[in-house]
Chains A and B, each alone.
Chain A
Amino acid sequence: MSSRSASAGHCFYSPSCTATIAFGIAYRRQPFPSTGKSKFHSKCLSIGFCCHRTFSYFTVSPTASTMVDSTNKGKRKVSPLPKLNGRLLCLGIEGSANKFGCGVIAHSPAPSAEPEAGEGSSSTSAHARHKNPATIVTVLSNVRHTYITPPGEGFLPSDTARHHREWAIKVISEAVRKAGIRISDLDCIAYTKGPGMGTPLQVGSLVARTLSLLHGIPLIGVNHCVGHIEMGRQITSSHNPVVLYVSGGNTQVIAYSQQRYRIFGETLDIAIGNCLDRFARIIRLRNDPSPGYNIELEARKGRRFIPLPFGTKGMDVTLAGLLTAIEQLTKDKRYRSWDSRASRAQGRGSALPPGEALVVEEDQDNHIANGQEVATEEDVITPQDLCFSLQETTFAMLVEITERAMAHVGAKDVLIVGGVGSNMRLQEMMGIMASERNGRVFATDESFCIDNGIMIAQAGLLAFRMGQTTPIEKATITQRFRTDQVHVSWRA
């Protein structure tokens, strides 16, 4: 238990970059030339304790907005959102899985004084005015704490809930402090109603109800998936994209129509993030900062492509069989686990500090880099090769179903949201696919891809502006809450 909380302590961060950040990915997209071709640039990947995030990585040229119009068949509808009379503040509380996140968002009427939040450094403003040009959306704070389990273990609902209980107050007060507001200033409080794990969800809703009663602030229950989509749309200014929502619990291809986010394709068994996490557990990869990120790093060192079952069914995917197949490969006699490779490396005389598996792997690879050809001739399968093959296969499946959905609805844009969406390789593959179709890809960085409080606040505030609130006696949670159950009243 003590080791868990110790490792968990690394992941506390906020947009101001003052807290420690386990990792960060920043990238930018080029503005699109008039041909509509998408260019996708992975700018940098910084692994360390701090990363600088700005909101300027999406430069949307005027061409882009006209493109959106044309894909919308010229009949652009007027946003049903009522005009703002003043600044509205919303606190979002998210705790559907192993992250407890909290964020404060502000919607204010257009030409108002820019540095309204006061604390210049801690407030980051997103000027995405695709929806309602008269609104300025500002992210005042976005704080998150992740519950990290030891290698080879997943997070259990009860332990996760305990983590959330432990951190709820700290995270919320930090978010409020960063935002430079008082809780009583808030206009509404949004919390994740579902989908997710029951007990962790309950912690979030309990905290939300308590705050609501204490301060007399209206509550809004938010669908987690809709939160992801709304935040993605907001920061990427992508008006009506096909959404690929990929996370630990969800794998869905979504498109908007008639005030619903409709699911065109999804996983038939396990989610992509679940598949990656479980694979990380099988090969005993660290869960810090996240298993998926460690797989991504290892996959870059993979050399050998090992065929795995390719399970697309129309616009659906199936991943369970693939996981079984790759698990079998780890029992193959050609397979070299970390341990066997580490001991070999040790035999060569490199001292390995115990308990620093990830660092060890890096060192080791420098050794192996010389002997790489030898290794391939040897006909061995390394964990890196498996990571590489797993990513290539599963992501190709995801890109394929997204492409089907695009062809189906005639959309040009793709928006990737969810934790797995922060994977650079997935973004790259999607970018290539979109450019083959003269489309564009939008993705966000890990602070918005991975579960966070601000997305709940964003979706909650949109609903609040449409006059929706959740009465306290209905402020419950539900583990199964489909994306298409939500009435998206704030979109035309």
Chain B
Amino acid sequence: MTISASHHLLDQAMLIKQGAEAKVYSLDSLLPQPTIYWPPSGPSKPSSTAQIQQTTAPKCSVILKYRFKKQYRHPALDLSLTRSRLAFEARALARCTRAGVVVPHVMWVDDRNGVIGMERIDGWSVREVLGGGAEGEMTVEEEDEEEIGEMEMERSKDQVDSINADETESEGWTALRSKGVTKEHLMTSIGRAIAKLHGTAIIHGDLTTSNMMVRFTPNGSEPYEIVLIDFGLSSTATLPEHYAVDLYVLERAFASTHPQSEGLYAGVLAAYAEGLGEKKWRPIQTKLKEVRLRGRKRDMTG
């Protein structure tokens, strides 16, 4: 059997981490590195080679998410799960892109082998910017006992964010601040991004500060943009309930990961309400209050 193109790519890529569902790889480019032959007499040889490499390499940087075959599952079950999840993730990302939500571009989909390739976002996750706990730590340690219940999804899987984070969190924030960005402004941008996402009837399913990236936009009107990543748990929404739960997940994430900046979350909601419009926001707001009171995870004897 010949090796599939996806596996060939994975062989070249560097494994970054093994999330809950998939292995995450980083690859410089989907295309093989071109070997260019320059005639020995060519005058501008060295400079243009350098130019080509500079222009192509950083732009094509790819994240490969490999849902490898889970041996513990029945093969039929494994195949159908991998296919449907991968297809949905790719579809959600594509729909978001079309609707103008800033998400990574899908560059490679191979549902038979469970590989999805996405544009790599250069920047920092919001969690790094706000200075949450480090990756891989027992995250619960900084969380309050009340918090943890609902927070299970937070930082759970496929944290693609740590990939791009060579810088420390303070650096991310310093860089933003140097451009005149305040935390309140950041919250507003987050709220707007989520509103835009929910405008497409897609819910993220795992909204946490780890799954939001901050990327500088040199040519944009704003100095930076929020990129939502990791749509592995996304689904389409039909009821205000779904949107409200999505928001509630983020609310818990804020409370547990950034206890010091919990007050900032109000800014997210305000911007969200504004972005969605009064008419759509009202039912979600009512539902959100309900969801907060629900407390499935709490003791019901009171």
Contact = CB atoms under 8 A, between A and B. Distances in A.
Interface of A: 73, 253, 255, 257-258, 260, 262-266, 268, 305, 307, 310, 313-316, 392-393, 396, 399-400, 403-410, 428-430, 432-433, 436-437, 478-482, 484-485
A484 B145 contact: yes
A427 to B, nearest CB: 11
Interface string B58-73: 0000000000001111
Contact of B152 (A316, A410, A478): A316
Give the most central of A257, A260, A399: most B CB within 10 Å.
A257
Give the most central of A407, A436, A482, A485: most B CB within 10 Å.
A407
B140 A409 contact: yes
Contact of A403 (B20, B136, B143, B153): B20
A255 B77 CA distance: 28
Contact of A436 (B70, B74, B152): B70
Contacts of A264: 148, 152
Contacts of B70: 396, 433, 436
Given A268-B296, A307-B77, A433-B72, A315 B18 contact: no
B19 interface: yes
A482 B20 contact: no
A396 B74 contact: yes
Contacts of A482: 297-299
Contacts of B71: 432, 436
A262 B141 CA distance: 11
Interface string B13-26: 00000111100000
Interface of B: 18-21, 70-74, 76-77, 80-81, 136-141, 143, 145, 148-149, 152-157, 205-206, 233, 296-301
Given A258-B140, A262-B148, A433-B70, A407 B81 contact: no
Contacts of B296: 268
Q: Is the interface of A mostly helix, strand, loop or mixed?
A: mixed
23 contacts: A73-B137, A253-B152, A257-B138, A257-B148, A260-B145, A263-B152, A264-B148, A307-B80, A314-B156, A315-B156, A396-B70, A396-B74, A399-B73, A404-B156, A406-B20, A409-B138, A410-B138, A432-B71, A432-B72, A433-B72, A436-B70, A478-B301, A482-B299
Nearest to A428: B72
A266 B81 CA distance: 21
A305 B74 contact: yes
Q: Is the interface of B mostly helix, strand, loop or mixed?
A: loop
A189 B71 CA distance: 45
Contact of A310 (B21, B81, B152, B205): B81
A396 B77 CA distance: 9
Nearest to A391: B74
Contact of B20 (A310, A408, A478): A408
Nearest to A438: B18
Contacts of B19: 407
Nearest to B146: A484
Contacts of B137: 73, 410
A150 to B, nearest CB: 32
Contacts of B206: 314
A408 B152 contact: yes
A484 B149 contact: yes
B77 A257 contact: no
Contacts of B20: 400, 403-404, 406-408
Contacts of A485: 299
Nearest to A410: B136
Contacts of A399: 72-73
Given A262-B140, A262-B149, A263-B297, 16 more contacts: A257-B143, A262-B145, A262-B148, A263-B149, A263-B152, A265-B152, A314-B205, A396-B70, A404-B156, A407-B19, A408-B154, A408-B155, A408-B156, A433-B72, A436-B70, A484-B145
